Structure 1
């Protein structure tokens, strides 16, 4: 069973994604900001992280910076998730996160859940 960590303050998106992932293949953990995401990443050891960029307390870019500062080899693949209107932020997040596991991005508003799930499965080889 693969473990997915969703770090996103968009409760609706997180619930829809969580309920769309097949329960026999995935366990989902959801937190609403980067600070909690760092804690859960250490505790849960997820197979993939879905990371929003704009969140309270600690956003996605700060989360990526914190991973870099921790050093070490982070093998957990990360997919940036954001709205289409934030393409500049997405490209900044992808380029900042290349050294800490960012493998790509998903656009919440424009992609259907089937496409998002396929992207997740392709990224973790499920």
Structure 2
């Protein structure tokens, strides 16, 4: 299992939001998803190692960050000419456009179109 979706039904759904996050192989703890959103990964073949679930009063604050709750490994990151935008560093770490160290990776040794492509070449995701 790579990802989950959880949704409340019945009377409880009127009063609570369900938040959940997963610990995915290679990525660790991901951001919180809620009310049927996907949490985990797709395309990598990584297993889920743990799941956390919390009920929060409807409209309440998320228990933590909601960034990066789901990673689609087959999503393409390409420029207008179809060239890959994912940077692979000499440390065998790949960086997505907009990520913390993307602009600091000025001399990439490889460029990739998808995260799965980078992973299959022996690169790991940035933390």
TM surpasses 0.5: no
Structure with the largest fraction of strand: 2
Larger radius of gyration: 2
Answer 1 or 2: which has greater helix percent: 1
Band the TM-score falls in, shorter-chain normalisation: under 0.3
TM-score, with structure 1 as normaliser: 0.24
Q: TM-score, normalised by structure 2?
A: 0.24
